[in-house]
A and B are shown apart, each in its own frame.
Chain A
């Protein structure tokens, strides 16, 4: 099949310093792991274990109240050490203290031949049983796919949408056959399966190369499945599509092939400006660790980074977390950036040679070097001045300021016409807005509310 280049005209250069080095290190041995139910959108978790219970890798920890077949398995074997609750008693974490030797729940291994003999429904059932189904998600709402849906296509993004991520050639190394098996699984679930890589990716090995169907420009968020779908779809029938990420394909494959719940994860750990003003710092690396790893295990000296902002899941789409938190089910990046520091005398009048911006309003625009990221709003919230910067960067051509106004006025139908459901939650609109309006967050919560009311 001819590879398609997905063209996206909008280009916004955000050059954050401190990306991970391209070498995978083995993480240290881990004594606790956790599942983070509230990071999984739209599910209502019902606990299946209680504190002190003994569990093995693969023991169901919780299920979805809406669909009890949807089960989430334990990423570790040992005892349930803590169940954390957050706002309105939502379960935030189930922490497992791992034993010296961890037992596995064992399922029947399924190989290529076994897969051939499975029909689609039994495959889905198998994936549900083995806690692998949640790896497949659904557009436009980005929740876990529902087996009843009829997806138009299934997208696999090899590289993540976030600027800091594990490059695909790292996690695919020596796993080509497994990946191929994973794609075969997906092909059983949906046809066609599209695999997208980023422009400039290293040459693929013989097994992977023929699988790649699309190539996206190397700009955030071009490789987001929502962006790919938006730029390739021809009719409204295609709006419902499934997607998964490259690393998750490996999990799927491993889970079927070995008959064990897979737990390996490679996490991109990036620290922007940890001490030496940006660049690759000692802390920036890719760590080969496990699903649900404690964040502190990912850094050599976590104590020294306690004054930084810890973000799990990417600088644009992730979550602020405590240093004593854990990586969630879908997250493959931990990013540490500086907190907003001190106020600056006449800050807005300075030439701004080192004030990162996508605009041309500071001298920074002349060199656009990589900058040290800071969790600083860089201004105060104001009323929208209709400057149009938000719509200029939106990768799916939403006229964000108008859509925002529709939402504000309660005109959801109108907002939908504007393309609210095409929004990929990339956050670029909020990034550029000079009035510091939380556009992306507003659009996201509106989409989610709309989805949940409709159910």
Chain B
């Protein structure tokens, strides 16, 4: 053992007895274990055959998802800081922008993790389960889907709903039907619509003495599009408002903290695919589904129909939370089907339904969230159908 491991080991060994059965802090054992194994990766002897095991475990699995979330996370911090300072008329050099972003974003992340961990720990203690690593992902996914001005108490309410209703009532990690982060997001969206949409929520303005802007408005690309005249082309409307395809792709515009940059999300997607942690089938299925549905609408587009009908389908991929949803939320293995063909279908339908909602109901542009939650419901069914088909192909052995 190294120089650091030894004293740590000692520290944990000395504290462990307090968390044993019958001792005062017995109930906090899941916390103790989570902390211990975070620092000191356990070496547990294999009891049953096979006597060697793969190095991949859930800690690694979830760490890779977190790593894949880093590009949109850091970009989100920068972007939030930039728009806040820009709107407040403050200097926009990199350091102060990033610092500003940290000040705005970190409290949201900390509340999400803190409150979420509390519930997670509570249920772990009651059920005497270990704390599941999946929470580390939920706790970061959720804040990245929020507008930067979200009141912290709503963050707390959202993550509470997500963890308790989205996951624990189903029996905890592995049994949940819905993606907890998405459940949290949907809850906030419907419970506190004012803070989740409109023109005032996207820029976290810094109120300084010298600058008396009381509210800075800014419309996200989706909001701009919603107001567009049906006769106009969405691409043109976007461009008029400064949202060229490039802007949309690189993501330096206002929007939810982590959702704006398709480029960063693409990098995350590549990490997930390269490591085999995120299903490329779901992602590719989603992209194909969105493009195909977009083209189908193009086909029916007339000047009387909403402008979204005629948009170049590629725009669907870079606007709103589509990319973020399909890369990070739809690929959650627990709530997606576990079988390969169903993954294609699941992804495809998410893409299709997301575009459908966006095009047909412009008042409700954020379709991907609902699309995923909706397909979460059907995921066990698809899985089951594929399973039946595959079983039927087997030569029975009973």
Contacts and interface: CB of A to CB of B under 8 A. Distances in A.
A349 B397 contact: no
A435 B56 CA distance: 9
A341 B340 CA distance: 37
A383 B173 contact: yes
Contacts of B4: 345
Interface in B95-138: 129-130, 132-134
A379 interface: yes
B333 A359 contact: no
B52 A337 contact: yes
Given A341-B43, A343-B42, A355 B63 contact: no
Contacts of B390: 397, 399
B387 A402 contact: yes
A245 to B, nearest CB: 18
B56 to A, nearest CB: 5
A376 to B, nearest CB: 5
Interface stretch (B157-165, B260-268, B270-278, B358-366): B270-278
B53 A377 contact: yes
A246 interface: no
Given A360-B275, A379-B59, A236 B396 contact: yes
B387 A430 contact: no
A361 B56 contact: yes
A311 B51 contact: yes
A317 interface: yes
A316 B397 CA distance: 24
Interface stretch (A1-9, A84-92, A385-393): A385-393
Nearest to A139: B397
Nearest to A317: B49
B53 A376 contact: yes
B40 interface: yes
A339 B44 CA distance: 9
Given A343-B42, A346-B41, A383-B172, A431 B54 contact: yes
Given A345-B40, A397-B394, A378 B57 contact: yes
Nearest to A357: B55
Nearest to B33: A380
Nearest to A362: B55
Nearest to B343: A388
A176 interface: no
Query: At the interface, is chain A mostly helix, strand, loop or mixed?
Result: loop
B53 A436 contact: yes
Given A342-B43, A348-B57, A360-B275, A315 B50 contact: yes
B396 A361 contact: no
Nearest to A372: B52
B231 interface: no
Nearest to B66: A349
Contacts of B133: 382
Contacts of A234: 395
A266 interface: no
Nearest to A373: B52
A193 B163 CA distance: 59
A272 to B, nearest CB: 9
A438 B52 contact: no
Contacts of A311: 51
B31 interface: no
B39 interface: yes
A357 B56 contact: yes
Contacts of B132: 382-383
B40 A344 contact: yes
Contacts of B245: none
A374 interface: yes
Contacts of B336: 386
A385 B58 contact: yes
Nearest to A342: B1
A343 B275 contact: no
Contacts of B352: none
B45 A343 contact: no
Given A236-B397, A345-B4, A438 B57 contact: no
Nearest to B279: A388
Contact of A378 (B54, B64, B387): B54
A361 B59 contact: no
Contacts of A318: 49, 51
A360 B130 CA distance: 26
B391 interface: yes
A376 B46 CA distance: 5
Contacts of A373: 51-52
B391 to A, nearest CB: 5
Interface string A388-409: 1101000001010110000000
A268 interface: no
A340 B46 contact: yes
B338 interface: yes
A440 B49 contact: yes
A337 B39 CA distance: 26
Interface in A392-450: 397, 399, 401-402, 413, 416-419, 421-422, 427-428, 430-436, 438, 440-441
Given A402-B387, A422-B397, A380 B49 contact: no
B275 A361 contact: yes
Given A376-B43, A440-B49, A440-B50, A345 B333 contact: no
Contacts of B60: 348, 352, 361-362, 379, 434
B37 interface: yes
Nearest to B132: A382
A309 to B, nearest CB: 6
A434 B61 contact: yes
A388 B52 contact: no
Nearest to A429: B50
B274 to A, nearest CB: 7
Given A319-B49, A355-B55, A377-B44, 12 more contacts: A14-B52, A235-B395, A315-B51, A343-B1, A345-B39, A357-B55, A362-B56, A383-B175, A384-B174, A389-B56, A416-B397, A427-B50
Interface of B: 1-2, 4-5, 8-9, 37-46, 48-61, 63-64, 129-130, 132-134, 172-175, 274-277, 333-334, 336, 338-340, 387, 390-391, 394-398
10 contacts: A236-B397, A315-B52, A341-B43, A343-B41, A356-B52, A357-B54, A357-B56, A361-B61, A386-B174, A386-B338
